[in-house]
Amino acid sequence: MKKNGIINSELTRVIAEMGHKDSLVLADCGLPIPQAIERIDLSLTKGYPEFLKILRATLDDLVVEKAILAAEIKEQSPELEEKIIALLPDIEVEYIPHEEFKRKINNSRAVVRSGEIIPYANIILISGVDF
């Protein structure tokens, strides 16, 4: 049994397999996930588990050099955006249109589906290296 960190075996495996510049998507419960991309479905009910809790746990386990958000989060969910940015103090953040965000998912290692129902509670994490 793992002593610390993420205990979901699928998510732990994906994080351990990621290399520099690989991407991992954390998503709300409504984001369309392409059939060809691995889905790690953590959702249980609407609102649970929360996107931010999954993001915090993932940031504790994954070296992240860049994050990508949908530009629409600024107007549609500014409080969530503020909380996300607070968790990424030394990480570059890029904003792109939501339609482009959905296309970028196709290049990701996996999509982690939360139960979140806040609009645009989605992020692409680009892995870095710790050396």
Residue pLDDT, tens place only, 58-68: 999 999 999 99
The SS3 of residue 105 is helix
Q: What is the CATH number of the domain that holds 28?
A: 3.40.1650.10
Give residue 92's domain range: 9-127
Quick check: is 62 in a domain? Answer: yes
Q: How many domains is the chain built from? A: 1
Instruction: Supply the pLDDT for residue 1.
Output: 79
Q: Among 86, 90, 82, 95, which Cα is nearest to 123's?
A: 95
Catalytic site residue 98?
no
Residues 6+ apart with CB under 8 A from 45: 115
Which is catalytic among the residues 5, 13, 17, 20? Answer: 20
Q: Are strands 110-113 and 23-27 parallel, antiparallel or unpaired?
A: parallel
Which residues of the chain have a pLDDT value below 50? none
Instruction: Supply the pLDDT for residue 3.
Output: 84
Burial grade of 16 (CB within 10 A; 0-12, 13-18, 19 or more): exposed
